[in-house]
Amino acid sequence: MFEILEKKALNPTVIRMTIAAPRVAQKAEPGQFVILRAGDESERLPLTIADFDREKGTVTIIYQIVGAGTMELHSLNVGQCLHDFVGPLGVATHTEGLKKVCVVGGGVGCAIAYPVAKKLQSQGAEVHSIIGFRNSELVILEDEFRQISSELKLMTDDGSRGEKGLVTAALESLIQNGHNYDEVIAIGPLVMMKFVCQVTKKYGIKTMVSMNPIMIDGTGMCGGCRLTVDGETKFACVDGPDFDGHLVDFDEAIARSSMYREQEQHAREASCNLFSKEA
């Protein structure tokens, strides 16, 4: 059984949950994900591994309460168990041989960026991190990033925390100030990753992006996460989720990500009604 050992709110809608999953923890690497179900009839949720502890046999996930599936997951508390917790899945993020890297995280994507930055730092790389949020209430993992980054830029759209502006402005400033990165790793909303890649392409800096935002089934069977990379069809869940951002057709991916918005809204409303009746 996959017992919930810890549950903590990082901001009003983002939750960190630590699960007892020894076999997954033994094989997990940054960039990989799990598929879980809260109950036996629940939606399958692909969630990227936010952290793991091989000795304790635990895996940490961070999720945002945005739809029916995550609302049901959020209804479980410490001491209860998830019905399914399968992984690790996907291809781990490549970190070997990198000496100086800028990791860019946007919103809840910072939960995925953090373990990557942590591993790079443990391997002796110089890590610069840029994390961006809409406002101060949504900031997560600031202390964790600060501990493993030789330079940290915290950006908010409204300037209520850190510096006011977008992560792309902070990234271009660092590049123009003479920082030569082996690679930039961007993880966050599709639009954010698209514009990060536009910045780095000007300077010829290799940029890897995580396409986990478009994953649905997590096995490659549903086809919902298909995308075009360098003119070829790829599936984020089995070929990725990491891809060369300069080769990704972001416009196509952004259009596909909004295809099921109406159905997702209906499911969320149904779940809201269900949970309010149970309360």
pLDDT at res. 232:
86
**What is the C-alpha to C-alpha distance for residues 199 and 110, in angstroms, rounded to an integer?**
19
Q: What percentage of residues in the chain have a pLDDT greater than 70?
A: 87
- Helix or strand or coil: residue 93? coil
- Helix or strand or coil: residue 66? coil
The contacts of residue 230 (CB under 8 Å, 6+ apart) are 244, 247
At 241, the pLDDT band (50, 70, 90 cuts) reads confident
Contact 165, 155 (CB under 8 A): yes
pLDDT at res. 1:
77
Burial class, 113, CB count within 10 angstroms (exposed 0-12 / middle 13-18 / buried 19+): buried
Angle at 7 between CA 4 and CA 13, to 5 degrees: 130
Instruction: Give me the DSSP letters along 4-60.
Output: EEEEEEEETTEEEEEEE-HHHHHH--TT-EEEEESSTTPPPEEEEEEEEETTTTEEE
Q: Is the pLDDT of residue 267 over 70?
A: no
Q: What percentage of residues in the chain have a pLDDT greater than 90?
A: 65
pLDDT at res. 43:
85
pLDDT at res. 263:
45
The contacts of residue 250 (CB under 8 Å, 6+ apart) are 190, 191, 193, 194, 197
| Helix, strand, coil shares, percent, the chain, to 5 | 35, 30, 30
Domains in the chain: ranges and CATH: 2-89 (2.40.30.10), 100-257 (3.40.50.80)
Instruction: Give the mean pLDDT of 45-59.
Output: 93
The contacts of residue 35 (CB under 8 Å, 6+ apart) are 44, 45, 46, 47, 84, 85, 86, 87, 89, 218, 219
Supply the pTM of this predicted model. 0.84
**What is the C-alpha to C-alpha distance for residues 186 and 166, in angstroms, rounded to an integer?**
13
Q: State the greatest distance between any 2 C-alpha atoms of the chain, in Å, as a whole number.
A: 58
Contact 212, 63 (CB under 8 A): no
At 243, the pLDDT band (50, 70, 90 cuts) reads very high
H/E run at residue 243: strand 242-244
**What is the C-alpha to C-alpha distance for residues 270 and 278, in angstroms, rounded to an integer?**
13
pLDDT, tens digit, 9 for 90 and up, residues 3-21: 999 999 999 899 999 999 9
Pairing of strands 14-20, 58-64: antiparallel
Residue 46 tokens read as: 């692909």
Q: Which of 27-41, 72-86, 126-140, 253-267 has the lowest mean pLDDT?
A: 253-267
Instruction: Give the mean pLDDT of 168-176.
Output: 96
Instruction: Give the mean pLDDT of 26-30.
Output: 94
* Bridge partners (DSSP) listed for residue 140: none
Q: How far is CA 42 from CA 12, 37, 83, 105, 141, in A?
A: 23, 5, 9, 29, 29
